[in-house]
Amino acid sequence: MAEVNTALIKELRERTGAGMLDCKNALVACDGDTDKAIDFLREKGLAAAAKKEGRIAAEGLVESYIHGGGRIGVLLEVNCETDFVARSEDYRRFVRDIAMQIAAARPEYINASEVPAEVLEHEREIVRAQTLNEGKPAAIAEKMIEGRMSKFFQEVCLMEQPFVKEPDKAVKDILLDKISKVGEKISIRRFARFELGEGIEKKQSNFVDEVMKEIER
């Protein structure tokens, strides 16, 4: 077993923000492997975040994000448990990032449970017809439907979308990481996205591309 010394514990603490004892325990459990210890702490943090689901989060922020001189606008409410967290720069930055995500990625719902049953059934029928038209056997087609529905959720549900700043993570993972860091329940409660002329037939705009460029800066 590798030696778990103070230097290793300090390094892990700096990389994760976890407590000294938690870092020591993680390193011991992972035989001194720092990368594995980071995963160990992250998993532990996510478990702790899940336990916060039943707590009440009534503080927070209503954030507005306007892009392109008023061509795209987002209103977003993100709740936390205390005003102390709501006032922190890190929390405000997180809320701002989520507002920009909504502007760029155009989600229609927060999570899959909000998608109306009739919308789901309509989408399933379209996907089912696509797979059958491809000549797939019915049994295989049903499995393919589930995979394509997962992609549908990634497109229309905020929590399932790849986070624009870290595409290898979903928004729900970023949220759970933030919960673990601040030690409070955080919930994305509601949002509204507006795009100038939306619903009016017009030439395809490049608003979303412009938002993405602003995020990357």
Q: Coil, strand or helix: which one is 190? A: strand
The pLDDT confidence band at residue 202, using thresholds 50, 70 and 90, is low
Give residue 214's Cα distance to chain centre: 19
Whether 211 and 168 share a structural domain:
yes
d(C-alpha 123, C-alpha 216), whole Å:
32
Tell the residue number behind the tokens 């998608």, with chain if given.
115
Write the CA distances from 106 to 46, 51, 100, 192, integer angstroms: 27, 30, 10, 10
Q: Coil, strand or helix: which one is 139? A: helix
d(C-alpha 8, C-alpha 3), whole Å:
9
CATH number at residue 124: 1.10.286
Mean pLDDT of the chain: 84
Whether 96 and 123 share a structural domain:
no
The pLDDT confidence band at residue 12, using thresholds 50, 70 and 90, is confident
Whether 131 and 199 share a structural domain:
no
d(C-alpha 126, C-alpha 131), whole Å:
9
**Please, where are the H alpha helices in 116-205?**
117-133, 138-156, 171-182
d(C-alpha 29, C-alpha 138), whole Å:
47
**132 has a pLDDT exceeding 90:** no
Domain that holds residue 187: 57-111+157-216
Strands of the chain (E only): list them. Answer: 59-67, 72-80, 162-163, 166-170, 187-195
Whether 88 and 178 share a structural domain:
yes
**146 has a pLDDT exceeding 90:** no
pLDDT of residue 188: 95
Tell the residue number behind the tokens 């920009």, with chain if given.
100
Whether 170 and 147 share a structural domain:
no
End-to-end CA distance of the chain: 44
Number of domains observed in the structure of the chain: 3
Instruction: Report yes or no: 5 and 27 within 8 Å, Cβ to Cβ.
Output: no
The pLDDT confidence band at residue 125, using thresholds 50, 70 and 90, is confident
What tens digit of pLDDT does each residue of 101-116 get? 999 999 999 998 899 9
The pLDDT confidence band at residue 13, using thresholds 50, 70 and 90, is confident
**165 has a pLDDT exceeding 90:** yes
Whether 48 and 61 share a structural domain:
no
Tell the residue number behind the tokens 């797979």, with chain if given.
131
Write the CA distances from 104 to 24, 202, 212, integer angstroms: 41, 19, 6
The pLDDT confidence band at residue 198, using thresholds 50, 70 and 90, is confident
Residues 6+ apart with CB under 8 A from 128: 141, 145
Give the predicted TM-score (pTM) of the model.
Answer: 0.68
